Amino acid sequence: MKQIAEIFSQGEEIVCGQTVDSNAAWLSQQLVDLGFTLKRHTAVGDDVDDLVALFTEIAERADCCICTGGLGPTIDDLTAEAVSIASGQPLRFDDQAFADIQQYYARRNRVMPPANRKQAMLPQSAIRIDNAYGTAPGFALQFKRCWFVCLPGVPSEMKQMFTALVRQQLLQRFPLQPDCLVTLRSIGIGESAIQQCLAEFDVPAGVQLGFRAAPDEVQTKLLFPSNFPEQEKRDCVAAVADKIGDYVFAIDGLDAAQGDLLDVVSKAMSRKSYSLALLETASQGQLAAKCLGCDWLRRVEINLDWGRNTGADDAGAGDVMPIAKIWAEQLKAREQTDFALVQLFAGSAEDYRDKDRAIVLYNALATPSGVVSTQLNAYGALKSKQNQAALLALDLLRRYLQNKCL
């Protein structure tokens, strides 16, 4: 039977939207990977009665709850007090926790304010969780059905404590059987089109199929039960990838993670010690920015006037692709690189700015075996068009590398 987990975040700044609760998102992924079933995320402000009520509710319905925030030294940090009231356990002074807080200040040649003594007050039955990066120790305790783990709200401290200490404690405490999530990452195709591709595919019993549209890709997710046969799993993933086609650029979850589009391209380019020269227009430097730090990108040219002063926005737009191909060959020869990628577009300035109008992208890639090209449309607001232009140009290189070289 699956263990039920919840995430509980404390802090007025989270409830009011002043701080984005990135802790809940990160912890949820960690717990799912361990094999928990996540049922709820709850955020409560700095009100002790509300906190006590929520602790009491969660104690009845969840097997595990990770709580973040409310462990600081100030009057609005109420987690320990609320747990004490809800569980009926008095707070006790933890000598080791206090010594650790004092050492934290001593190492920094600072005087510890008296208020920090509060952070060493923990519920009587709680197990202390040491904090190597801050003053607030965490703690864990059993309250009715639920094993509560209370951690600081500072993300860097919380993540270090969970990774170094809490994760192993949970594995020892709970009989966890993690499901296997396999993610097929694709570009150039939408969710509805992928669903149509899979319309006649019979998803095996017990396997969950889902989709997620991210800013730079669309993900097709297959969640396999922990006891699903390995070879059948691989066969299922291969069948889904075949149905979607070469829009799929990476598959995560079967073996080592392959990463995003740039990761896939960068690994392939570095593996063969290839080099690339780039001319971009519609993406206005965003492709070069995405490739920042990639030593295989040898030359970047950005032409902001293309499509504005060349007549590419009128009836002569059909002549753009031959220009792109010629420029790609010339750029490759001039820079003496293995590849040259040229991105041109057709569309007026109004087309580029208007979210309801499209621009036409012409991508040409000069390779060791000739020139390959794509003609695609980019839609949406200006920044969306800019990002699409960068990704679709990079995807042309990815397709060549995966289909021809690997």
pLDDT at 406: 41
Instruction: Give, in degrees to the nearest 5, the angle at Cα 286 between 280 and 289.
Output: 110
pLDDT tens by residue, 110-162: 999 999 999 999 999 999 999 999 999 999 999 999 999 999 999 999 999 99
pLDDT tens by residue, 195-242: 999 999 999 999 999 999 988 999 999 999 988 999 999 999 999 999
pLDDT tens by residue, 356-378: 999 999 999 999 999 999 999 99
In percent, how much of the chain has pLDDT > 70? 97
Q: What is the mean pLDDT of residues 281-308?
A: 90
- Residues sharing a CB contact under 8 Å with residue 219, sequence separation 6 or more, in sequence order: 183, 184, 185, 186, 211, 212, 213
Cβ 174 vs Cβ 3: under 8 Å? yes
Tell me the average pLDDT of the chain: 93
Q: What is the pTM of this model?
A: 0.76
Cβ 224 vs Cβ 182: under 8 Å? yes
Rg (CA), the chain: 27
pLDDT tens by residue, 98-112: 999 999 999 999 999
Cβ 67 vs Cβ 149: under 8 Å? yes
pLDDT at 308: 57
Cβ 220 vs Cβ 253: under 8 Å? no
Q: Does residue 272 surpass a pLDDT of 50?
A: yes
**Alpha-carbon distance 125 to 247, whole Å?**
54
Beta strands per DSSP E along 33-179: 37-44, 64-68, 91-93, 121-123, 127-129, 138-143, 146-151
**Alpha-carbon distance 337 to 294, whole Å?**
14
Q: Does residue 315 surpass a pLDDT of 50?
A: no
* Chain position carrying tokens 């059905």: 145
